[in-house]
């Protein structure tokens, strides 16, 4: 049983893909064909005939970081609207036609990107291109659909934030840790913004984010690169380009002292979350930081599990997560204290372990273990067409080049004990942290 369901679960899967594999294996097993269309969209294709299916991902470089107060959650809402009708496939038709032809779809929105996913048998290939081009070019924003979808998103917010303790605390943590940069507001948006954005806001968002030159398409599965490029020429290339989102210029000022926040809420158990500012994903410290987090948090032999769960027995679970990000972002640490345990006890134990990692080098065995874990996770991610589509796209978008995927193993094996120690020292200091605690408040509902 999972005690807390972390908002970054999916992101952790993404990150798992950013890890490991030898160069030779990578290139041999996963050749990728690449072409940039005349309208600027980059298309990456990987052939794999092991199942008669295809995974198609489109990454748009637009997320909640491109929003502003008053329209928070708009990227995510727009993601929903991309399923609610265009010129050829009207409201509800996209899903009906796709499922009737054996396909399914989904999408996700993060602070940085909006990603659309189609999974289908190869027999549905041209249909999928017809559908995708229709909605990229000719999305219709029907006022009735906007109205009902607003309610759906409000329900989603109630489900994943209001009625989930880790959701509430996570939201407050980002809002406190970031005071200037747009990472401070939640992807799903504040409820009052969900209730108030306008048709004009939606139209502006589409103009800004959904230009072909702001997108990367990744196709993996039972296809050839030639046939995909040909389909792209027919369906995607004629779509006109427009101006991409204006750059996000706000730089979060350095945090120079601990910040603390408390959430009082009816709950069975307290919850502790810590946030530490870290550089953007393509920074050189990415690999050392992941090795450090593996040593500290991954598996029952990890330092934090051994200390908090096994030895001190003060927590049920302790974990860490980070999402791919274009701008300097945040590593989160979550601990679920046991019943009757003051969350500050967990805090103290975590700080001691972080301090130990900063003051003393990790052992050779720990370093080797962490590298092995990253390697196996890489294989786990790359063994499905879906995992590969997501991983290739993530490298392309967040590291600027899918080829970096093939350097990951080299980059991990180059990480030294000194790198790990330096990462701990640089990022896990007291001045750089924000501490969020959920304090259970039982009894009748407090009227707001």
Helix, strand, coil % over all residues of the chain, rounded to 5:
50, 20, 35
Q: How many residues in the shown chain lie near other proteins by CB under 8 A?
A: 101
Footprint of other proteins on 182-221 (CB under 8 A) = 186-188
In angstroms, give the least distance from the CB of 358 to other proteins.
Answer: 22
Q: Which of 31, 68, 151, 179 binds other proteins (CB under 8 A)?
A: 151
Among 143, 246, 300, 364, contact with other proteins (rule: CB under 8 A): 300
Torsion of CA 131, 132, 133, 134, to 10 degrees: 50
**DSSP strand pairing (329-337 vs 215-221):** unpaired
Among 22, 39, 176, 306, binds other proteins (CB under 8 A): 306
Choices 132-140, 203-211, 308-316, 412-420 (CB under 8 A): range interacting with other proteins: 308-316
123 near other proteins, judged by CB under 8 A = yes
445 contributes a contact to other proteins by CB under 8 A: yes
Nearest approach, Cβ of residue 369 and other proteins (Å): 5
Among 60, 89, 119, 297, interactor with other proteins by CB under 8 A = 119
Task: Tokens 């230009």: give the residue.
Answer: 211
Residues 30-59 that bind other proteins (CB under 8 A): 50-53
Please say which residue, 70 or 299, places its beta carbon nearer to other proteins: 299
Of 68, 87, 158, 264, the one binding other proteins by CB under 8 A: 158
The single residue among 240, 246, 257, 443 that binds other proteins, judged by CB under 8 A, is 443
CB of 300 to other proteins, least distance (A): 4
Q: Which is nearer to other proteins, 212 or 321 (CB)?
A: 321
Min dist. Cβ of residue 237 to other proteins (A): 27
- Which residue, among 190, 164, 165, has the nearest Cα to 437 in the 3D structure? 165
Figure out which of the listed residues 124, 173, 225, 318 binds other proteins, where binding follows CB under 8 A: 124
Residues 52-111 that bind other proteins (CB under 8 A): 52-53, 76, 79-80, 83, 92, 95-96, 99-111
Does 15 bind other proteins (CB under 8 A)? Our answer is no
Torsional sign, CA 326, 330, 331, 332? negative
**280 scored as a contact of other proteins (CB under 8 A):** no
- Binding of other proteins at residue 162 (CB under 8 A)? yes
Choose which of 248, 316, 345, 361 interacts with other proteins (CB under 8 A).
316
Give the nearer residue to other proteins in terms of CB position, either 215 or 330: 330
The CA-atom distances, in angstroms, between 332 and each of 323, 336, 433 are 9, 13, 10
Instruction: Single out the segment in contact with other proteins by CB under 8 A; choices: 30-38, 236-244, 256-264, 293-301.
Output: 293-301
The nearer residue to other proteins, 78 or 399, going by C-beta atoms, is 78
Q: How far is the CB of 80 from other proteins (least distance, A)?
A: 6
In this structure, what token pair is assigned to residue 359?
């003051």
Least Å distance, CB 68 to other proteins, is 19
- Decide whether 5 or 196 has the Cβ nearer to other proteins: 5
Residue of 425, 386, 29, 40 whose CA lies nearest to 211? 40
Q: Which two tokens stand for residue 171?
A: 């939201």
Which residues in the 329-388 window bind other proteins by CB under 8 A?
336, 338-339, 365, 368-369, 372-377, 379-380, 382-386
Q: Which lies closer to other proteins via its Cβ, residue 101 or residue 426?
A: 101
User: Is 313 a residue that touches other proteins (CB under 8 A)?
Assistant: yes
Nearer to other proteins, 14 or 37 (CB): 14
Going by their DSSP bridges, the two strands 259-265 and 315-321 should be labelled as: unpaired
Task: Compute the least distance from the CB of residue 52 to other proteins, in Å.
Answer: 5
Q: How far apart (Å, rounded) are the C-alpha atoms in residues 42 and 63?
A: 19
- Is 160 among the residues that bind other proteins (CB under 8 A)? yes
Taking residues 239 to 268 in sequence order and writing x for each that binds other proteins by CB under 8 A, - otherwise, the string is: --------------------------xxxx
């Amino acid at each position: 049983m999972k005690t807390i369901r972390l908002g970054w679960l999916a992101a952790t899967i993404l990150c798992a893909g950013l890890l490991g594999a030898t160069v030779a294996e990578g290139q041999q097993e996963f050749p990728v064909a690449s072409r940039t269309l005349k309208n600027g969209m980059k298309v990456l294709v990987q052939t794999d005939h092991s199942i008669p299916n295809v995974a198609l991902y489109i990454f748009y470089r637009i997320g909640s970081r491109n929003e502003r107060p008053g329209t928070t959650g708009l990227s995510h809402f727009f993601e929903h609207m991309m399923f609610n009708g265009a010129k050829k496939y009207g409201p509800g038709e996209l899903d009906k036609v796709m499922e009737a032809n054996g396909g399914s779809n989904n999408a996700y929105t993060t602070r940085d990107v909006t990603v659309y996913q189609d999974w289908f048998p190869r027999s549905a290939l041209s249909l999928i291109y017809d559908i995708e081009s229709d909605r990229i070019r000719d999305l219709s924003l029907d006022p009735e659909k906007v109205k009902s979808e607003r309610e759906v998103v409000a329900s989603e917010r109630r489900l994943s934030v209001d009625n989930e303790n880790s959701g509430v605390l996570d939201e407050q943590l980002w809002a406190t840790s970031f005071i200037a940069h747009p990472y401070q507001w939640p992807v799903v948006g504040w409820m009052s913004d969900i209730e108030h954005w306008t048709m004009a806001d939606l139209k502006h968002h589409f103009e800004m984010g959904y230009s072909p030159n702001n997108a990367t398409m990744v196709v993996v599965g039972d296809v050839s690169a030639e046939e995909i490029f040909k389909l792209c020429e027919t369906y995607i290339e004629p779509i006109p380009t427009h101006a991409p989102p204006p750059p996000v210029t706000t730089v979060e000022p350095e945090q120079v002292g601990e910040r603390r926040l408390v959430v009082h809420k009816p709950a069975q158990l307290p919850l502790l979350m810590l946030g530490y500012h870290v550089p953007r994903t393509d920074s050189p410290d990415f690999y050392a930081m992941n090795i450090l987090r593996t040593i500290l948090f991954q598996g029952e032999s990890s330092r934090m599990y051994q200390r908090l769960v096994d030895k001190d027995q003060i927590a049920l679970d302790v974990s860490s997560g980070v999402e791919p990000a274009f701008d300097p972002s945040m590593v989160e640490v979550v601990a679920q204290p046991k019943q009757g345990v003051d969350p500050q006890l967990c805090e103290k134990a975590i700080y001691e372990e972080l301090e130990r990692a900063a003051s003393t080098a990790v052992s050779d065995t720990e370093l080797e273990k962490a590298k092995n874990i990253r390697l196996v996770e890489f294989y786990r991610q790359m063994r499905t067409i879906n995992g590969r589509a997501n991983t290739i796209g993530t490298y392309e978008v967040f590291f600027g080049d899918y080829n970096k995927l093939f350097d990951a193993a080299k980059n991990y094996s180059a990480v030294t004990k000194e790198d790990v120690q330096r990462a701990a020292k640089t990022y896990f200091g007291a001045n750089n942290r924000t501490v969020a605690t959920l304090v259970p408040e039982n009894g009748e509902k407090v009227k707001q």
